[in-house]
Amino acid sequence: RLRIAEGRGQPEQVIALLDDLERRASSREELISVLTQKAEAFGLLGKVKERLETLEKLVATLPEDDPRRAPNMMSLAEMYVNTGQKEKAAKMFTEIASGKKEDPITGWAKLELANIATENGRFDRADELYMEVLNEYDDQELIISALSEMRHRYAEQNQKKRLASNCERLAKTAKNESLKTAIRAYLTWLNWKQSGKERAAKAMEQVLNDLQGRSDPICWETQLTAARFYQEIGDDARAILTYQQLVAGAKRKPWSTTARIELARLLEDRGHIREALVLQKQLLKMLDPASELDILLDAKFSVGRLYAKLRNHTRAIEHYRDVIRHEPNSFRGAKAQEEFAYSLFALGKPEKAEQIWKGLLQKFPNNKEIQVSVRMRLGEMYVTTKRYREAEAVYREVIERYKDDWRYGFALVNLAKSLYGQGKTAEAKKLLAEVQKNYKDDKLLSEARRLMEIVNSGAPLDSLKGGGKAG
């Protein structure tokens, strides 16, 4: 019966059967097997409390010398972290960390203890633990995680000098040659403003030269660091080339997927829409819906957006629908509905688009991004369909309620557009003059100048193509 329920994907029925088996377990090994399956079933159902309690039973049941105990302790400790029980988590991580150093799980436990130490402001203790993990363990994914956690946590807590000091020590003491190369790359990125852009670029080029002929996770992580560095200094050509080399060379996740995601974003930002679309569609084939659903939905949303930029709104809608079906109530789901409606508008269905947009304003009343973005979309639709009074009303709502939003200036220009459409030429000119006087954003000023030319010439708004799409 248990196997039939599992085969039919009925986790609730599986748990009921496992409860019965737990009550009837006649040996420790049988109980361990049942508790292991129960913990897994509760995880599939998203029942956090029940899974945590089951893992506690399982850890208590497993003998201390059983090799299955430490992995289950890690799972339980991570659940303690996620449920805010930091003291219990630290106690369990400490017990795991006291195991044999040959076992990488002790390193993962020390990494978690280091992370907890940074959260508590105990940076000297965190230093000891991070450096121990990075100097004494060979597991590449552990090394990468430790370096990444130390970098991000110290940067977030304004400990950049400590971070630089640790990296300089590692460059001398690390036993792993790939790690030394990774540290050189990160120090180059960290210090480029002091050393100068050209000198830093040459140093990073040498790092990449040293990686030639090597292919392992630390090397791939180093290439990611280099690509991000090139982006930061504005060298898009080298960033793209480095990402492309990583896409071709990285054989494992997350590097193979991360490289595609970041390269696609860069290409899209630079207007290479078709190339970005190819990468995002590759991701759709690579990602596992069961374990990588979040990244998969991001990719589906991105594919929809890219198709829309190519004016293939029918294909865009297909991908937005997938996101909406999975997440109708999330922020990502709301943005997918917003873009879905825009594609409907582009396909000549403004009434349906308006209905969806107004529904979003009601459904997400406290989400500023949705409120501003959707109003900008509505305003654009009203102007396009010559419903200028409604456009004026919606742009005035943005201006009155969201003065600190980055789209405020665009709302002013579009308000001027709606006023001009109603024949209120003097008011439109006044608004546009204020924008040109008070703002420096090139795109915004370009739109304001183009509209001012139309207003001054008395030409119809139809002669103004593009622009006004900051939402």
The Cα 324–Cα 338 span in angstroms is 10
Structure tokens at 268: 């899209």
The verdict on residue 211 lying in a domain is no
The verdict on residue 466 lying in a domain is yes
**104 or 323, which is more confident:** 323
Confidence band (pLDDT; 50, 70, 90) for 10? low
HSE-CB at 46 with a 13 A cutoff on CA atoms is 0
**443, pLDDT greater than 90:** yes
HSE-CB at 402 with a 13 A cutoff on CA atoms is 24
**327, pLDDT greater than 90:** yes
% residues pLDDT > 90 (the chain): 74
Burial environment of residue 351 by CB neighbours within 10 A (0 to 12, 13 to 18, 19 or more): exposed
Residues 373-401: tens digit of each pLDDT:
999 999 999 999 999 999 999 999 999 99
Contact call for residues 354 and 387 (beta carbons, < 8 A): no
Residue 89: per-residue pLDDT = 93
**350, pLDDT greater than 90:** yes
Confidence band (pLDDT; 50, 70, 90) for 6? very low
Contact call for residues 89 and 123 (beta carbons, < 8 A): no
Residue 15: per-residue pLDDT = 72
Q: Residue 394: which CATH number?
A: 1.25.40.10
Give the 3-state secondary structure of residue 327.
coil
The verdict on residue 11 lying in a domain is no
Pinpoint the alpha helices (H) of 347-424. 350-363, 368-384, 388-401, 408-421
Residue 19: per-residue pLDDT = 77
The sign of the torsion formed by the CA atoms of 362, 363, 369, 375 equals negative
The Cα 77–Cα 96 span in angstroms is 10
Buried b (16+ CB within 10 A) or exposed e, 82-105: eeeeeebbbebbebbbeeeeeeeb
Burial environment of residue 346 by CB neighbours within 10 A (0 to 12, 13 to 18, 19 or more): middle
**465, pLDDT greater than 70:** no
Helix, strand, coil percentages in the chain from 3-state DSSP, rounded to 5: 80, 0, 20
The verdict on residue 458 lying in a domain is yes
Residue 101: per-residue pLDDT = 77
Residues 143-173: tens digit of each pLDDT:
999 999 999 999 898 998 899 999 999 888 8
Mean predicted confidence (pLDDT) in 267-281: 97
| Closest of 152, 159, 150 to residue 132, by C-alpha | 150
Residue 361: per-residue pLDDT = 98
Place of tokens 């960390």: 97
Residues 188-207: tens digit of each pLDDT:
998 898 889 999 999 999 99
The Cα 161–Cα 120 span in angstroms is 18
Residue 8: per-residue pLDDT = 44
Residue type, 109: A
**467, pLDDT greater than 90:** no
The Cα 310–Cα 317 span in angstroms is 13
Residue 468: per-residue pLDDT = 46
Structure tokens at 56: 């506690």
Contact call for residues 179 and 218 (beta carbons, < 8 A): yes
**436, pLDDT greater than 90:** yes
The Cα 263–Cα 244 span in angstroms is 8
**354, pLDDT greater than 60:** yes
pTM as predicted: 0.80
**Over the chain, what is the mean pLDDT?**
91
Give the 3-state secondary structure of residue 468.
coil
The verdict on residue 177 lying in a domain is no
Burial environment of residue 362 by CB neighbours within 10 A (0 to 12, 13 to 18, 19 or more): exposed
Mean predicted confidence (pLDDT) in 126-153: 92
Structure tokens at 375: 């109003």
Task: Give the residue numbers spanning the domain of 406.
Answer: 366-471
Rg of the chain, C-alpha, whole Å: 28
Domain count, the chain: 1
Mean predicted confidence (pLDDT) in 102-125: 93
Residue 176: per-residue pLDDT = 82
The verdict on residue 405 lying in a domain is yes
Contact call for residues 108 and 142 (beta carbons, < 8 A): yes
The verdict on residue 238 lying in a domain is no
**118, pLDDT greater than 70:** yes
235: left (phi over 0), alpha (psi -120 to 50) or beta: beta
| Closest of 428, 350, 431 to residue 387, by C-alpha | 350
Confidence band (pLDDT; 50, 70, 90) for 5? very low
The verdict on residue 174 lying in a domain is no
